[in-house]
Structures are given as C-alpha cells and as structure tokens.
Structure 1
C-alpha cells in the first residue's frame, strides 16, 4: 500500500526516487538539486525541531516546493478563509498504519501521523500578493513553483502518543527554509485584487497557544483535533496525474483510510462557490468550516447558543430570530443573530463585515473581510422567509 502512495504522489510530480539525506548544513527546507534523493519522512515522538526540513515532509528543490514520495496532498470541498491565503494540505502516516473512518468527526488518525498545511499567495507585481480565491494547489509541475508564489508559513499537526501537537513554521524571504516560531509572527502583506484594488493585511501566524483556539473543539477535554480531514470535507473529486478520483476512495486505495463506505454513501459538504449547488447547502458548508469548530454544542462558542456546525438543524440554534447572549459591542445595536430576509439587520453579517478585533467573527485567522463569503451569507439570510417577533 505504501508503494501505491509513493506512486500516486510521484505521478502528481511531487517527489520520486531513491531517498537519502539532504545536504548537511542546510536547515529549514534549504534549496537542493531538483533530482537530489530524499530521506524518508521523519516523525519526532517528542521535542520541537527548529527547522521544517528535519521532518522531510517538504523541501525546496528545482525552484519548487516539493512533497516527499510518501506524502499525499489533499483538498477540501469548502476551505477555511485565512486572509485570502491559498493552502497546500498534506497527510503522511507511518508504514502499515491507517486512519479509521468516521462519518461526522475527524478521522481516527494513528500515532505518528503528520498533517501539514502550507499557506501561500500568488505573487503580484513588486512585493504585492494577489487577493484571489483558493482553488487548490497545482502540483502538476512537480510542486509549487516558487517564482509564482510567496510562501508564508507551514503548520504541522502531529499525532503523538498523548494527543495532537501543533507547530508553526515561518518561511524566510528567500523561500529556502522555514523556522519554528513558537510565539507566532505578524506579517504585513499588500493584497491586490483583480480589479486593482489594494488592501493591507496583517497576517497573523498563530502562536502555539492560539492553535487551540480553533483546534480545541471540545471544551471538556481541551484536546486538539484536526478540522479539515473529515468525510464531508474530503468527499470530492480531484484531478490526479493518473486521472480524476474521489479523495475518500483514493485514501482507501492507498491504505491511508480504513472502514470507509463508497463515496456516494459518505456525507459531502457543498463547494461554497458552486453556483449550481443549493444556496442553503453552500452557506451551511461555509459556516461549518469557518465557524462550526467553535460554534457547536461542545466547542468554545457553545455558551453563545449559536451553533453553526453541520449537524445542527434547529433554526434558532442557527441564529434565526435568536437573541444574542453577552455579545455587547458585537451586536452592532442589532437585536437578532439572523433576521430572515434582512441581512443588514443581522448580527451575523455585522460581525463578519467587521475588522475590529473586539467585534469581528471569526476572532482568529483573519485581519481583512472575506467579501465573497459575506455576500454568500447575505444571500442566504435574504432568501429566508418569515419575521422575528
């Protein structure tokens, strides 16, 4: 099965060949020859390696950010918004290990799993980056082409014996290495839209404690959990070099997933940008990935009474005519979280439109307004019928 994983990633152009150590003295993901051999992925059962390259998950070679041969890229139906950053997501598991399928929660990953998420932007002119929608990483040329992107950070989520651990690595300006930044980092960016509009973004690399703000999805246990690799997010087709395949089927095929049903029997979130999908499904998928990990019966936002996860169906829990609980300034002098047919009178859209840290939602992961996402939720509210008493 592990050979199959290596073959698939090789076909994607993300790394093939005999494996050996990168040149000594080159920390981070220091540049190496495009055809240089790899060492296998290395899992550290404890400790916090200072350089991303010590894990042997990614490297810079031949002008590209490449994936090791046993590292499988994946994508989500609807991704989390992070100041318009694009993301390259990967998964790796130890030889002979696989994740247990779950229809609702994150898969049951084995000890030794390494999940990575690299945040990057398409390059604009000068130091600017493009403000554009994340369409998924294009690895067909053998990895991310560094002349066309600006790497910002790579986050690792590691399944150790005692639970999940998050490590944030920040890329240097030369894009040759990524260094562990336990205290996080604030990175100033200039975003340029297709219409030429320019906007400054204070991109926040989270510190290790802030990672729990999103990944600590259960207030009782306080334990970290993956957010993206769930059946409803992964159940989609992607274009591999050997043809289009469903991700759940491919993970099962290569031995990274056990117990999964056929894709048509698994849950599936909508693509929030798919105009052919029902508006309700698109809006709920967007709220699920961006808000549901916190606003859920078990999450940090459970006391608000506003639950936006995929499982919640009760209209009032979804905000319909619901009075806020201790929102204070965050209400914007509006009475209800969602007022059917009236997005301008709804607290939900008010907080999504704000960039005030004391008001905005989500609280973490953005410094600018996701205009397209706000429009989707506005349309969803506008389409609702009824009135609040």
Structure 2
C-alpha cells in the first residue's frame, strides 16, 4: 500500500475517533428570551436511550418531597463556573445570577410494558429510578421538565412538556392537561388529569413572600437538602457535596445544619414526620408571609403548634370548603378536622393543595390522620 493511502487511512481513523469523543455542548444560560426547546439549555443530555446530566450539573433530592400525583422527580442544579449559592439556615439558599434549577417529572412504566399513551405505574413518588445519574428511557415516561432560572431581573419559571417519543421537551407557557392512568402493583387503576402549570401558576406557588412579590425556589433549603445522595461516584451528604463542588458557601457541617425527617421513615417520631410533610407540601403558602397568610393558618416549621398551626382554630372558609367541620385541626379527631378533609378530597373546590395534584395522596393523608388522632386537647373549653 502506498504512503499516501496509509496517511489517508490514518487521517480517517483520527477523524472517526475525534467524532466519537465529541462532548456534549456545555450548559447554556440564556440571560433573556424564552428558548422554545429544553435542549437549548443543555442541562440534560438525551441520547435516545437515557436521560443524563451534563457536565457540572448536580442531582439532588429532598428529605420529604412535595407530592405531585405520584410523579417521581429528577432534580438538578447548575451554576456558572466560579459562582456559588450562599447558605441560609432557614430560607432557600441565595443563588447567583445564572443559576438553573430543573425538575423533571416522570413515572415508571408497569413491569414488562411499553408506553401505551396512558398507563403508568403508581408507586412511591419519593423513590428515584436514577441509576448512575441516568434515567433509562425504556423504563419511564417523561412528562415535563420545569426550569427555574435566575436572571438579573430575578427568577423566571419555564415549563417544558416532553413529546411522544421522549426526544425533546417544548416550552408550554399556557400549561397542559395530560390524561394518565395510574396502575398499582395489584393492577388497580385510577384516572389522573395531570396538570402542567402555566407560568402564572408557577409564579403563584413560588411567590413565597407576599411582601416581596417575587419568585423564589422552594425546595433548596438546608432542612430539605441535609441528607445523603447516591452519586455516581459514591454516597455522600448533599450539603457537603455542594460545598466540595464549589456550589455552596458558608454551610456548617451537616450535623450542625437543620434537617427534616423523611415522612416515609416509620422509625422516625410521628410528630417529626407529620411536620416535615406539612412543611414541604403546605408551608410555602401557609406561612406568616406566604400567599395563604390571609387564612390565618401557618403550617411551616417556623410556626409552633397552637392556634396559628390550626389547633382548635376555626377556618376562614365556610360550607363546602370545610365539609361542615368546625376546626382546622381538632386534636384527637382527624375525621372532624378541616385539614384532613381537604387533603383527602379531589374536588377542585375543596382540595388542598389547590395546584399540583388531581388525586389524593393516600399515604400522606394517612400520616396526617394518624398524627391528628394522637394530639390532645379540648376545643370546647
């Protein structure tokens, strides 16, 4: 073989190797505008077989997650090189401009079944199907990915809905209603009208301070994040990992940081589990400054149990919204408490939370029922 043929062959092999080693474009922060495709941000990498994280994107979980129609969630965080969040003991961390927080909602598929356009598995939504920091697309149905982006003007929320073949998610500012059927391990099924929130609904939940009237993250707080995570490189505490990665400044050792219970952990005190559940599912609205403060009911961790926490407190709402119950929480009588009544309802005119679910969280309601029934006190005195 002539010399030039050898050279041409070697050049071809070099180009082929270079093409195989070509890396994913880095995460792209858009300082303005409304990118129409999720892939425009390059936060998540979709190769048709799996959904994974781009370089410098960190996955995370919460001790007790917010309930959303039994959807599982892949949460991620990215910040520009050299930038870090400032630790705060009780509030959401102070994130720099350029931060991108993502939350992908997905469901496992019933065992041995492919996606048929509707049926998904009803399972513990706090469990993760992330393996090696990847989701196997043959085992899950992606529904939506919400971005919370920190720009110079403040946070902006952008909802993206995944297409039928799970190859791309498109910006859907007006929201969407996706019919699903939840199927449990015994074959029992329940219809779900899964709601992708519009931008205004995103803002209504993330406006955690009525005085400031600006969007803020809800989940990334020390008490929710102070837990271990199974990273691809090994299991470690999230606060420690964020600090080591340069994404968090000022955090104490995890043992000195606040930590909420895992509401599913039967070995934890019942009171701690119930308070954690109410804090993450209700406390961002029902707090002293939250959008539900006109109700006089505060369910966040900062509120001590008492009348403002609902004990023997008469509700502001009346009639259908209370089910003719007299108190938000009637100690020792969960069935007579407005709180449980609204948690168990799937009537849009009654249910709480008002957004983010169309079915009742049976396990969550049972937890609060058990907790209320153990409380003592007499509202008739």
Unaligned runs of 5+ in 2: 1-18
Distance 1:298 1:34, change over 3 A: farther
Match of 2:225 among 211, 221, 234: 234
Q: 1:9 matched to which residue of 2?
A: none
Unaligned runs of 5+ in 1: 1-32
Aligned-partner Cα distance in 1 for 2:329–2:134:
43
Map Cα deviations across residues 190-221 of structure 1 (whole Å, 9 max, x no partner): 00112221000000000000001210111122
1:388 shift after superposition: 1.1
Residues 60 and 176 in structure 1, CA contact (< 8 A), matched pair in contact too: yes
Match of 2:160 among 135, 156, 169: 169
Q: 1:353 matched to which residue of 2?
A: 344
Match of 1:67 among 53, 58, 66: 53
Match of 1:245 among 236, 248, 255: 236
User: Where in structure 1 do 4 or more consecutive aligned residues deviate above 4 Å?
Assistant: 33-36
Match of 1:273 among 264, 272, 275: 264
Aligned-partner Cα distance in 2 for 1:43–1:339:
49
Q: 2:311 matched to which residue of 1?
A: 320
Q: 2:13 matched to which residue of 1?
A: none
Residues 165 and 224 in structure 1, CA contact (< 8 A), matched pair in contact too: yes
Q: What secondary structure sits across from 2:236 in the alignment?
A: strand
Give the 5 Å matches for 1:95-114.
95-114=81-100
Q: 1:297 matched to which residue of 2?
A: 288
Aligned-partner Cα distance in 1 for 2:235–2:350:
42
Aligned-partner Cα distance in 2 for 1:238–1:210:
30
1:315 shift after superposition: 1.3
Q: CA RMSD in A?
A: 1.4
Give the 5 Å matches for 1:117-196.
117-124=103-110, 125=113, 126=116, 127-141=118-132, 143-196=134-187
Aligned-partner Cα distance in 2 for 1:69–1:231:
24
Q: 1:23 matched to which residue of 2?
A: none
Residues 64 and 142 in structure 1, CA contact (< 8 A), matched pair in contact too: no
Tell which structure's C-alpha radius of gyration is larger. 2
Q: What secondary structure sits across from 2:124 in the alignment?
A: coil
Residues 37 and 168 in structure 2, CA contact (< 8 A), matched pair in contact too: yes
Please give the TM-score of this superposition, normalised by the length of structure 2: 0.91
Aligned-partner Cα distance in 2 for 1:137–1:70:
20
Q: What secondary structure sits across from 1:209 in the alignment?
A: helix
Residues 311 and 331 in structure 2, CA contact (< 8 A), matched pair in contact too: yes
Distance 1:235 1:324, change over 3 A: same
Residues 318 and 324 in structure 2, CA contact (< 8 A), matched pair in contact too: no
Number of residues paired by the alignment? Answer: 357
Q: 1:38 matched to which residue of 2?
A: 24
1:328 shift after superposition: 3.8
Please give the TM-score of this superposition, normalised by the length of structure 1: 0.90
Give the 5 Å matches for 1:39-58.
39-58=25-44
